[in-house]
């Protein structure tokens, strides 16, 4: 039986959470669906919570990560901005590098 070291990472700005696994999951779902409502549903998140997370991310980031449009005759939508896409890519890169480091450290950990 092998032991593994696990961790959770998130990015903060001025003490406010900007990015974490759940937020990246939401942004990725928005990119895939083009809709905050559909994205929330696809990751089993209430629309209210998804909207709150998106509002917090947009307020904390230097520039908006998602642009939304109000529904109506043609329907609304949500679109990841370039800043949002870069944030997701950078977070995924950091998470991948952390996973590699932890896997390497796990091999050095004494067996219980």
For the stretch 37-83, pLDDT in tens is 999 999 999 999 999 999 999 999 999 999 988 765 566 799 999 99
Structure tokens that stand for 83 in this block: 């800043």
Mean pLDDT in residue range 12-33 = 96
Q: 1 pLDDT exceeds 70?
A: no
| Per-residue pLDDT at 49 | 97
Global pTM reads 0.88
pLDDT of 101 above 80: yes
Helix (H) and strand (E) counts for the chain?
4, 4
Domain ranges of the chain: 11-108
Which CATH number is associated with domain 11-108?
1.10.10.10
């Amino acid at each position: 039986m092998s032991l593994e070291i696990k961790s959770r990472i998130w990015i903060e700005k001025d003490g406010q959470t900007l990015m974490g696994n759940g937020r990246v999951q939401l942004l990725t779902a928005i990119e895939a669906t083009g809709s905050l409502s559909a994205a929330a549903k696809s990751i089993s998140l209430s629309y209210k919570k998804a909207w709150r997370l998106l509002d917090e991310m947009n307020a904390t980031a230097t520039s908006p990560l998602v642009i939304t449009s109000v529904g109506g005759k043609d329907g609304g939508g949500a679109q990841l901005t370039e800043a949002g896409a870069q944030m997701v890519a950078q977070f995924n890169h950091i998470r991948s590098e952390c996973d590699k480091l932890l896997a390497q450290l796990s091999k050095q950990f004494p067996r219980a």
